[in-house]
Amino acid sequence: MKKIDTTASINGIKLPLCIMNASGVLCTTEQELSNLLNSFSGGIVTKSCTYKPRKGNVIPRYFEWNIGSINSMGLPNLGINFYLSFLEKKKINKPIFLSISGLSKEENYFLVKKANESSKITAIELNLSCPNIVEKEKMLGYDFYQISNFIENIFKFNKKPLGIKLPPYFREEHIKNMALVLNQFPIFFVTCINSLPNGLFIDPMKESVVIRPKKGFGGIGGSIIKPFALANIHKFYTYLRKDISIIGCGGISSGKDIFEHILCGASAVQIGTQFMKEGISVFERLKKELIFILEKKNYSSINSFKGKLKNF
């Protein structure tokens, strides 16, 4: 039987496996990050950090049901200095993506500068799409006017591979316009998509919302958002410069879901809600399921079918 290659390249960054965690899920504390270092995941994305540690929003702030999740975490994190010193102490065996999500543009400039000082960080994932912060300036991922100038300023000093975590877009013109902006800069990758903002899940028995912050409104993740993730990945694959890789995120709970993300153009994938539900063993299971599909389809690597979704 042919050996199946499930490694990935994100614009030259080599991942031993094309599957990693999504920022936010079980990647905040020393213990969680150590578990990821010892796991099958092909890379590690840290919880989006700010300059100062944050407790985040009031609890309950996360809820899941059979096909989805809702969260309004509010960026609970231990502050950038914790993540930099944790990485300094550790033997690193896979690419590290430091996720940053400053509360203002100035804070983001500062955080990117700090990240540039660490040799342990492979790449920066700049999160411009957190839907849960009240005190934050307008979400930059939806601000087509400010984002260009913001990214231009970042690349005046940034020397690290840098990618951007985007919110979902629901109109083709928005994806096209965002791709036109991103194509002007030496961006390594985009991560599509963050949770669907402003969802509401309710408990009809209790006649109540299920999370406390923002009167129950939060970001929706899990299987129900997969069609939106696939649509965004495929459209960005069409409009982005070919050297900008896409990391797929949204609705993955099986090897088949990963196959679909890659078919739409993803070079690697991140697991959020399903990692939360299943824990650290999820990466090994998904790898096995992906290999099973590739064997059946007689594909030897993810590059054999990446982006090759057929139309009628």
CB of 56 to ligand SIN, least distance (A): 6
| Binding flag, residue 273, ligand SIN (CB under 6 A) | no
| Binding flag, residue 108, ligand SIN (CB under 6 A) | no
Closer to ligand SIN by CB, 25 or 87: give it.
25
The gap from C-alpha 165 to its chain's centroid, in whole angstroms, comes to 6
Closer to ligand SIN by CB, 130 or 209: give it.
130
DSSP calls for 218-248: EEEESGGGHHHHHHHHHHHHHHS-TTSEEEE
- Show Cβ contacts of residue 31 under 8 Å, excluding neighbours closer than 6 positions: none
Point out the catalytic residue in the list 130, 192, 249, 264.
Answer: 130
Closer to ligand SIN by CB, 69 or 132: give it.
132
| Binding flag, residue 127, ligand SIN (CB under 6 A) | yes
Selected binder of ligand SIN within 50, 132, 191, 274 (CB under 6 A):
132
What x/- string results for residues 75 through 94 when contact with ligand SIN is judged by CB under 6 A? Answer: x-------------------
User: Alpha carbon of 236 to those of 79, 191, 195, 214, 288: distances in Å?
Assistant: 31, 10, 17, 31, 28
What x/- string results for residues 13 through 52 when contact with ligand SIN is judged by CB under 6 A? Answer: -----------x-----------------------x----
- Pairing label, strands 19-21, 44-45: unpaired
Helix (H, G, I), strand (E, B) or coil at 163: strand
From the number of C-beta atoms within 10 Å of its C-beta (0-12, 13-18, 19+), residue 86 rates as middle
Spatial CA neighbour of 281 closest among 30, 90, 36: 36
CB of 38 to ligand SIN, least distance (A): 24
DSSP calls for 38-74: TSS-SSEEPPPB-SS-B--SPSP-EEEETTEEEE---
Give residue 200's identity as a one-letter amino acid code: L
Selected binder of ligand SIN within 195, 232, 273, 274 (CB under 6 A):
195
Contact 99, 43 (CB under 8 A): no
Closer to ligand SIN by CB, 229 or 302: give it.
229
| Binding flag, residue 168, ligand SIN (CB under 6 A) | no
Selected binder of ligand SIN within 42, 68, 74, 199 (CB under 6 A):
74
Catalytic residue status for 49: no
The 268-271 sheet, strands edge to edge? 19-21, 268-271, 245-249, 189-192, 162-166, 123-127, 96-100, 44-45
Q: Tokens at residue 312, please? A: 């009628």
| Binding flag, residue 191, ligand SIN (CB under 6 A) | no
Total residues contacting ligand SIN by CB under 6 A comes to: 12
Selected binder of ligand SIN within 19, 130, 247, 290 (CB under 6 A):
130
CB of 204 to ligand SIN, least distance (A): 25
| Binding flag, residue 194, ligand SIN (CB under 6 A) | yes
| Binding flag, residue 216, ligand SIN (CB under 6 A) | no
Closer to ligand SIN by CB, 40 or 189: give it.
189
Active-site residue set: 130
**Which residues of the shown chain bind ligand SIN in the complex (CB under 6 A)?**
24, 48, 73-75, 127, 129-130, 132, 194-195, 219
